[in-house]
């Protein structure tokens, strides 16, 4: 799934007026977190959130994703996200969760957060099954 696909799915599920640049930023932060938790070896994982190894890149001050359609390169909005299908729906759920929070829809936020958590845990479980025994214990979820 690309960032644009995740944005389109979330916008269909939760019509909103939140700038695309901000939603790209949210996805970039989530992808950075997932990269640190599941794809980097423990010795390369930063000790503190916000360490440059796992950046959340804000496209630019106006939001490179503000225009409709595909985002111009090299903005992160056209890139493929890390988590593969069938777990890639977690990106849409994450965006819905953030949109619900921004709009003050607390009941919807709780539902979206639960859906995100279910898919996230399924992905973490799938990742742990494909790692050698010692490395699986290093997953932090």
Domain range annotation of the chain: 3-136
CA 106: distance to chain centroid? 20
Region 77-89 average pLDDT = 88
Q: What is the CA radius of gyration of the chain?
A: 15
Region 74-103 average pLDDT = 87
Q: Give 32's pLDDT tier (boundaries 50, 70, 90).
A: confident
Q: Give 38's pLDDT tier (boundaries 50, 70, 90).
A: confident
Burial of 11 (0-12, 13-18, 19+ CB in 10 A): middle
More confident of the two residues 101 and 79: 101
Task: Using the structure block, give the residue that is written with the tokens 């360490």.
Answer: 51
The overall average pLDDT reported for the chain is: 77
């Amino acid at each position: 799934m690309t960032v644009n696909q995740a944005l389109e799915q979330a916008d269909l599920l939760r019509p909103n007026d939140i700038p695309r640049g901000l939603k790209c930023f949210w996805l970039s932060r989530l992808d950075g977190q997932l990269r640190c938790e599941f794809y980097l070896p423990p010795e390369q994982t930063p000790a503190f959130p916000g360490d440059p190894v796992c950046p959340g890149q804000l496209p630019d001050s106006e939001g490179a994703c503000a225009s409709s359609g595909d985002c111009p390169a090299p903005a992160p909005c056209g890139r493929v996200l890390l988590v593969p299908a069938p777990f890639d729906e977690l990106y849409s759920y994450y965006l819905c969760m953030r949109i619900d929070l921004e709009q003050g829809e607390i009941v919807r936020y709780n539902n979206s957060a639960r859906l995100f958590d279910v898919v996230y845990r399924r992905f973490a479980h799938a990742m742990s099954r494909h790692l050698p025994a010692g490395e699986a214990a290093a997953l932090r979820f």
